[in-house]
Amino acid sequence: MILQTQRLTLRPIRVEDAAALYQARGDADVMRYWDWPEKSSVEQVRDILTAHIPEHGDESMLWWVAALSPDGPAIGECDLSEIDRHNRRAEVGFLFTKAYWGQGYAREAMERVIAFGFGELGLERLWARFHDGNTASQRLLERLGFTYEGRLRAHVVRDGTRRDCLVYGRLRE
């Protein structure tokens, strides 16, 4: 499923995107608030993609790269995961290369993903989880209409330290 925005093409992620995605996943600043630290090689990113790209027919996750043109390299990624059609809900996520921060690309991509989730998929609830302290993600989610729902205390271990995560949610209007 390919999604279009004014400036972006969101296309299904491919193993061949590993080198472009390494620009984000290999950057300590970009990965500072993720469950896992930055990757040290394109091969590590390729291994993640190989292990996690949904198989054809798997409807529990939709994972896209964001590119400036249909065949262009990935500048970021976004997804709907844990898609639960019975309860009509899913988790949203996003990650963009630092060179593209502050230009509205994450917001533009997520607006389209949200519209797809609530529209074409018929979902009624979307939620996001992020590490406490990630104010950029918090601000973006709030601009997208998500509201604070709670704190998951000591939810993840990163670099030997337990971190809290915040949960934000949005209902279909």
What pLDDT sits at residue 167?
98
Q: What is the largest CA-CA distance in the chain?
A: 42
Q: Does 62 reside within a domain?
A: yes
CATH number at residue 103: 3.40.630.30
Give the contacts of 100 (CB within 8 A, at least 6 positions apart).
Answer: 75, 76
Q: Does 159 reside within a domain?
A: no
Q: Does 85 reside within a domain?
A: yes
Q: Which residue segment(s) compose the domain that 10 sits in?
A: 3-123
Q: Does 21 reside within a domain?
A: yes
Q: What is the dihedral of CA 107, 67, 88, 82, to 10 degrees?
A: -110
What pLDDT sits at residue 117?
98
Question: How much is the pTM?
Answer: 0.94
Indicate the pairing of strand 89-96 with strand 125-131.
Answer: parallel
Give every residue of the chain whose pLDDT is below 50, as ranges. none
Q: Does 26 reside within a domain?
A: yes
What pLDDT sits at residue 42?
97
Q: Does 94 reside within a domain?
A: yes
- The structural domain count of the chain equals 1
Owner of token pair 């030997």: 160
Q: Does 31 reside within a domain?
A: yes
Q: Does 135 reside within a domain?
A: no
What pLDDT sits at residue 100?
97
What pLDDT sits at residue 54?
80
